[in-house]
Structure 1
Amino acid sequence: MKQSFFIALAVLLFNTVNAQKLKSPNQKLQMEFSLQNDGTPSYSLNYKDKVVIKPSKLGLYLKNDAKYLVNDFTIIDTKMTAFDETWKPVWGEVASIRNNYNELAVTLNQKGTDRQIIIRFRLFNDGLGFRYEFPSQKNLVYFTIKEERTQFAMTGNHTVFWIPGDYDTQEYDYTSSRLSEIRNLNEKSRTENVSQTAFSPTGVQTSLMMKTDEGLYINLHEAALINYACMHLNLDDKNMIFESWLTPNTNGDKGNMQAPCQSPWRTIIVSDDAREILASKMTLNLNEPCKIEDTSWIKPVKYVGVWWEMITGKSSWSFTNEFPAVQLGVTDFAKAKPNGTHGATTANVKKYIDFAAENGFGAVLVEGWNEGWEDWFGHSKDYVFDFVTPYPDFDVKGIHEYAKSKDIKMIMHHETSGAIRNYERHIDKAYQFMKDNGYDAVKSGYVGNIVPQGDNHYSQWTVNHYQYAIEKAAEYKIMVNAHEAVRPTGICRTYPNLIGNEAARGTEYQAFGGSKPNHVTVLPFTRLIGGPMDYTPGIFEMDISKINPNNHSHVNSTLANQLALYVTMYSPLQMAADLPENYNRFADAFQFIKDVAIDWEDSKYLEAEPGQYVTVARKAKGTNNWFIGNVNGYKARASNIKFDFLEKGKKYEATIYADAKDAKDANYKTNPQAYTIRKITVNNKSTLSQVSVSGGGYAISIIERK
């Protein structure tokens, strides 16, 4: 049962310029708000008496306005409140979440314009969130944001884990460097993508992870991105100050606003223990409570699908090679010659359904089932797909009946190719078609440039489209797994039918040339801060040429590392991405994927260092069973953990799936499939020392003995 209380102190603080201080409930964090001599609002943040953020300016620049909202302010009101509640997520890493903060709301009035803004600060035990609020008023009604001036002034030349600032993609490998090195490394860090728009040599994306030389871990991000442009960060590398940089629309504007309204929360998570960054629920807590009354239809699921064979080039999304171009409703696919490589055939999909049913999976994803793939990309084409017309070799009704007979759900794929206006035209019909044919979840895609031309993937208008699709899906009781959409900011608390996102460099890039071996040791500190990722793990065949002789990519991971991802890369939507035949080859290792849970009662972060290693233990909801995952970066190491999270007085059987004992045996480059499986008995006093090789790791299932 949800229990909460709200203590409204409503205390009017002194109106002196430097007296607005706020402490976290545990007193470890302290925020100070002040007005500079020219009426510029600023804030600073300390953790355990160490400076985290030096005095940093706040405000907004407005378009076609002679007076920006950046200075000449006076404080006309301050209110301090405290809040403490416990709420239960529909799905998650834990069964309940505490939302506990102290709040300071500062109302400012601008001299000469009589315009008011409220800057609201919420200080949690794990960090600070703040936002701009624009109350209803006669002197600020409709306004256009030219840029937001939100600063994060660093205390030094920190180590930072970053990807280049880009209005259209987050699909980059992470670079680790000093802040001062971003400028020289930015261009080198920009690998090719089908849609990308850089804006600055020192621009980076959130969630941004840093570590100071004094051992503080700092994460910068945003929460509750609603009706606003996505925020990037631009670094003044002379003064080591990050400043917000919003994504523009087609004419360069960065937000069309109507009061009353508000910005997303700007977030700073901080700790001297990297594990606490991973465990933080502040991003979720800054979002609104769930708005879906009946959530019984939202169910975590493990799935397989017709996907990896297309990603590797073994199969194709398109049905035929006969047409140089197609027009829906005009092109007659029934008269076309099949290309012989189409993946989404009725017969092939039935094989995946059989495999799912035989191995305890809940769903099957099918891509390339619908007409239009022959010329879907690169033409800024508006009417690309109608999302209801299947190719001649895909029997929608027959597949529905066959999957139902096997108790398997189907996941439909909606690729928009960036033509979001077209998707909105068809979305009601498409969602109803899904429900009529037994599809309870959709994987949506936004590959390529946004149509209309000139807009970006992360502008206010496009962000509003993603939100529209989520809310519309909720009306039809459909779960959404959005790919190439804006990176998540905790909105899954409000709309838990948003069961997954991509919004980062996923497993598919392992078939496009590979990702860095330590990529998965960075993602939990960056991309996953905002919500779960559909990373599509579980690749067992690392040599892609064995699937497609024309593809010489290599998966930079050991098999044991791939198993561990089901625990370290949290998601209520987990794919076993490889081909069924590869799982049959390694049936003993595949057992872990079959056994591992996807919804959790509790989670313990046992070891963590960004870019180096992550070790997580999670308790399966409704059981006394635990699962552990460890992923390792470049340097081989011994992972040392305790099992003190287990229930006292109980004995458990632990099955350990690990890299082969010696580093010379297991290696992500030369021998990635070298693994061992052993069973031991453990209790809450047990310990384990386990070697993880470069790009390796281990996975453990811990089952209570009856």
Structure 2
Amino acid sequence: MKNILCYSFCLLFGVQQVAAQIVSIRSPDNKIVLNIKSDNGQLLFNVKKGETTVLEDSPMAFSSDEKKFIIAHLHSPEYYKVDETYPIRGIHSLAINRANGMKVKIADKKNNTLFAIDARAYNDGIAFRFLVKGTPTDRYIPKESTVFKLPLGSHIYYHDMYAHYEGIHKKQVIDCVSKGEWAAPPVTIELPQKQGYVCITESALRNYPGMSLQADGECGLVVRLGHEQPAGYPFAHDYSLEEAKRLSEPAVITGDIITPWRTVIITSDLNELVNTDLITNLSPAPDKKLFPEGVNTEWIKPGRSVWCWLDGGQRTLEGMKEFSKLAGELGFEYNTVDAFWYRWTDMQIKELVDYSAQFGVKIWLWRHGRDLRDPQKRKEFFDRCQRLGIVGVKLDAFSHESKEFIDLYQACLKEAAEHKLMLNIHGSDKPTGEVRSWPNEMSREGIRGLEYGKNQYEWATHNTTLPFTRLVAGAGDYTPMVFGDRKLDTSWVHQIATALIFNSSVIFFGAHPQTILDNPAVDIIKDIPAVWDETIVLPCSEIGKIAAFARRSGDTWFLAVVNGKEAQTIQFPLSFLGEGWYEATVLNDRTTDAGAIKIERAFCRNSDSLTGYMRNGGGYIVRFKSK
């Protein structure tokens, strides 16, 4: 594996001052340019791709200890290159990390170094972060109010912070977004005249509060740190008002400040947007001691799990034994046991672990995050899990982006890895590249999934929006696929297709396992992989209207489509297939019954096309097995 990080800069703060007031960096393909300039004491940046303006002149605002920095000049940058590949998990199996970078020192009128900016330009975006050199005893309170100023006429897909990261996206012209409105990253933007897509988020979040965005009423989105964000409904459900007030105090950082990367993904189409590696590229490589083979470390196993919370099941030891038996019949690897296990003894937990093993099924346990804030209790719990043969933990109620909660994420991920435990984090914020840095994080919520399903939401529109908004940032535990009332305005085929399109390295299925076994499409469901070698977003895809993916695992391809509110018939060229013949199993919507599936079979080559009918809220699935 190619793994070269070529840094040509010397000492970060040992650069000779020059009079330059504008510094620039271009992507390796020379199409994207990031300009940083000082202007009357203010630091500004803008971004272009070719002749297209991606971001207008925008304030790049950072300070510490509540001091307002007056920028006098920029020092000449030290340039470097990044060029590596590494294994990754989810959308595809190999990531390419290739960028041009620069570090530039920012000084005041007396030539005192205020901070430095580390910036990179990739072929699919730009990123920057702020650096402050400190001593182990230095204490800082960072303040950010950087603005991302979008071109007039851009369409923005965003949701507010009321449900933290579990909101419903709406589409709005940026000119019409009111001052003060909140936007939870990742925020996806369609540029005017369909000139491409932009997605704004952050990468490598650690030792720092999380970032949200707030509209300034002038086409800008302003960075707001965790303590500035409103405490959403999920936090209020689990914690007290006193706790919310305490976490609204600014965070103190000791020693160096290294902010997360402020990340702007820039692509020409939805296929490039979905396939971006920018967020993981900016995240630190995993600790070799904890993860000797990175995402392929031996004890980290992607897979599928049954789960009794959504669709019923006896919440007892005997009920969970039955779930493990049914999981084995499905070929699923895991059974996730929810909060009722708290009443069990170690002997009962071990009994379930041993019973499940005969069916090739391993056990995950749910745990409230509040119970793990104390380091000693955390250690005792992880010790207990390891001793009893538990392989994964579903942690819940992490719905705040204060530095305290971000530190808790990091502690849980590290200590779980020391115990060879996988994690799924619920009630969470957005992913920021953890799949690379902490490969034992298999999924996280931070998404409105089927736990909300009995309410009257337009799932068809929501599900055709998620692949191009929230899921751009990383895996999302949507708990996909139900066949009863929770599916609301969607069909059975649509529901199955969500498990094929929504990335999660362990898929925690919402449906009762017996319901899955009874479904006419059970053979297809059994075959759904949790991770993919290749993903292609088909050209007919449109945010909020249709998401059509061709995905490969080994030699098997799937064509999976979730449709929005309008019924449609689409012809799908099969040019993504390899050479030779494939046996195709086709799942079609029934025109008169959303709770039924029409199954057909055919033989196809890559020169052929298939025509799929999708009802409103429908779907279309084809599995192609090489002959």
TM-score, normalized by length of structure 1?
0.80
Measure the CA separation in 2 of the matches of 1:288 and 1:111. Answer: 35
* 3-state SS of 1:370 partner: helix
* Matching residue within 318, 327, 352 for 1:356: 327
Measure the CA separation in 2 of the matches of 1:3 and 1:131. Answer: 23
Gapped regions of structure 2 (runs ≥ 5): 228-244
* Matching residue within 431, 437, 443 for 1:494: 437
Rate the CA distance shift 1:688–1:80 in 2: closer, same or farther, 3 A.
same
Contact 1:603–1:618 (CA under 8 A) maintained in structure 2: yes
Rate the CA distance shift 1:507–1:438 in 2: closer, same or farther, 3 A.
same
The answer on 1:178 being equivalent to 2:131 is no
Per the alignment, residue 30 of structure 1 pairs with 33
Per the alignment, residue 269 of structure 1 pairs with 265
* Matching residue within 215, 221, 232 for 2:201: 221
Q: CA deviation at 1:113?
A: 8.2
1:297-308 matched pairs, under 5 angstroms: 297-308=299-310
Contact 2:364–2:393 (CA under 8 A) maintained in structure 1: yes
The residue type paired with residue 479 of structure 1 is M
Measure the CA separation in 1 of the matches of 2:571 and 2:54. Answer: 30
The residue type paired with residue 68 of structure 1 is K
Contact 1:414–1:445 (CA under 8 A) maintained in structure 2: yes
The answer on 1:4 being equivalent to 2:4 is yes
Q: CA deviation at 1:15?
A: 3.7
The answer on 1:287 being equivalent to 2:283 is yes
Q: CA deviation at 1:48?
A: 1.9
* Matching residue within 656, 678, 687 for 2:586: 656
Q: CA deviation at 1:517?
A: 1.9
The answer on 1:581 being equivalent to 2:578 is no
Per the alignment, residue 406 of structure 1 pairs with 359
Measure the CA separation in 2 of the matches of 1:58 and 1:480. Answer: 35
The residue type paired with residue 95 of structure 1 is S
1:147-546 matched pairs, under 5 angstroms: 147-166=143-162, 169-183=164-178, 201-215=180-194, 216-237=196-217, 239-248=218-227, 250=246, 252-291=248-287, 292-294=290-292, 295-309=297-311, 343-371=314-342, 390=344, 395-416=348-369, 418=370, 420-422=372-374, 424-446=375-397, 457-541=400-484, 543=485
Contact 1:9–1:79 (CA under 8 A) maintained in structure 2: yes
Measure the CA separation in 1 of the matches of 2:545 and 2:457. Answer: 18
Contact 2:56–2:151 (CA under 8 A) maintained in structure 1: yes
Measure the CA separation in 1 of the matches of 2:248 and 2:552. Answer: 48
* 3-state SS of 1:155 partner: coil
* Matching residue within 561, 564, 582 for 1:633: 564
Over residues 250-293 of structure 1, what are the superposed CA-to-partner deviations in whole Å (9 max), with x where a residue is unaligned? 26433312232210001111123122111111011000112233
Q: CA deviation at 1:77?
A: 3.6
Rate the CA distance shift 1:568–1:14 in 2: closer, same or farther, 3 A.
farther
Rate the CA distance shift 1:58–1:476 in 2: closer, same or farther, 3 A.
same
Report the number of matched residues.
599
RMSD of the alignment, in Å? Answer: 2.4
Contact 2:72–2:108 (CA under 8 A) maintained in structure 1: yes
The answer on 1:570 being equivalent to 2:492 is no
Gapped regions of structure 1 (runs ≥ 5): 184-199, 316-342, 372-388, 448-455, 545-553, 666-670
Measure the CA separation in 1 of the matches of 2:348 and 2:175. Answer: 57
Contact 2:467–2:501 (CA under 8 A) maintained in structure 1: yes
Measure the CA separation in 2 of the matches of 1:514 and 1:433. Answer: 40
Rate the CA distance shift 1:580–1:252 in 2: closer, same or farther, 3 A.
closer
* 3-state SS of 1:505 partner: coil
Q: CA deviation at 1:92?
A: 2.7
1:591-630 matched pairs, under 5 angstroms: 591-607=523-539, 608-620=541-553, 623-630=554-561
Over residues 321-366 of structure 1, what are the superposed CA-to-partner deviations in whole Å (9 max), with x where a residue is unaligned? xxxxxxxxxxxxxxxxxxxxxx421211111111011121111111
- Runs of 4+ that moved beyond 6 A: 9-14
The answer on 1:84 being equivalent to 2:83 is yes
TM-score, normalized by length of structure 2?
0.90
Measure the CA separation in 1 of the matches of 2:135 and 2:400. Answer: 32
Q: CA deviation at 1:391?
A: 6.8
Rate the CA distance shift 1:428–1:512 in 2: closer, same or farther, 3 A.
farther
Contact 2:444–2:477 (CA under 8 A) maintained in structure 1: yes
The residue type paired with residue 154 of structure 1 is L
* 3-state SS of 1:518 partner: helix
Rate the CA distance shift 1:596–1:516 in 2: closer, same or farther, 3 A.
closer
Measure the CA separation in 2 of the matches of 1:701 and 1:51. Answer: 41
Percent identity, aligned pairs only, is 23
The residue type paired with residue 683 of structure 1 is R
Measure the CA separation in 2 of the matches of 1:584 and 1:257. Answer: 52
Task: Specify the structure having the higher radius of gyration (Cα).
Answer: 1
* Matching residue within 616, 621, 624 for 1:699: 621
Measure the CA separation in 1 of the matches of 2:382 and 2:19. Answer: 56
Contact 1:307–1:365 (CA under 8 A) maintained in structure 2: no
Measure the CA separation in 1 of the matches of 2:16 and 2:563. Answer: 50
**Larger deviation, residues 356-365 vs 673-682:** 673-682
Contact 1:13–1:20 (CA under 8 A) maintained in structure 2: no
Rate the CA distance shift 1:284–1:657 in 2: closer, same or farther, 3 A.
same
Per the alignment, residue 52 of structure 1 pairs with 54
Rate the CA distance shift 1:30–1:14 in 2: closer, same or farther, 3 A.
farther
Q: CA deviation at 1:489?
A: 0.7
The residue type paired with residue 604 of structure 1 is I
Rate the CA distance shift 1:699–1:15 in 2: closer, same or farther, 3 A.
farther
* 3-state SS of 2:432 partner: coil
Per the alignment, residue 197 of structure 1 pairs with none
Measure the CA separation in 1 of the matches of 2:18 and 2:571. Answer: 53
Contact 1:567–1:617 (CA under 8 A) maintained in structure 2: no
Measure the CA separation in 1 of the matches of 2:585 and 2:83. Answer: 40
Contact 1:506–1:535 (CA under 8 A) maintained in structure 2: yes
Per the alignment, residue 190 of structure 1 pairs with none
Measure the CA separation in 1 of the matches of 2:303 and 2:273. Answer: 26
Per the alignment, residue 196 of structure 1 pairs with none
Measure the CA separation in 1 of the matches of 2:161 and 2:319. Answer: 40
Over residues 183-227 of structure 1, what are the superposed CA-to-partner deviations in whole Å (9 max), with x where a residue is unaligned? 3xxxxxxxxxxxxxxxx8411111001112311211111111111
Q: CA deviation at 1:62?
A: 3.5
Measure the CA separation in 2 of the matches of 1:482 and 1:72. Answer: 41
Measure the CA separation in 1 of the matches of 2:600 and 2:324. Answer: 31
Q: CA deviation at 1:112?
A: 4.9
* 3-state SS of 2:538 partner: strand
Q: CA deviation at 1:639?
A: 3.1
The residue type paired with residue 657 of structure 1 is L
Contact 1:364–1:410 (CA under 8 A) maintained in structure 2: yes
The residue type paired with residue 75 of structure 2 is I
* 3-state SS of 1:402 partner: helix
Contact 1:17–1:36 (CA under 8 A) maintained in structure 2: no
* 3-state SS of 2:168 partner: coil
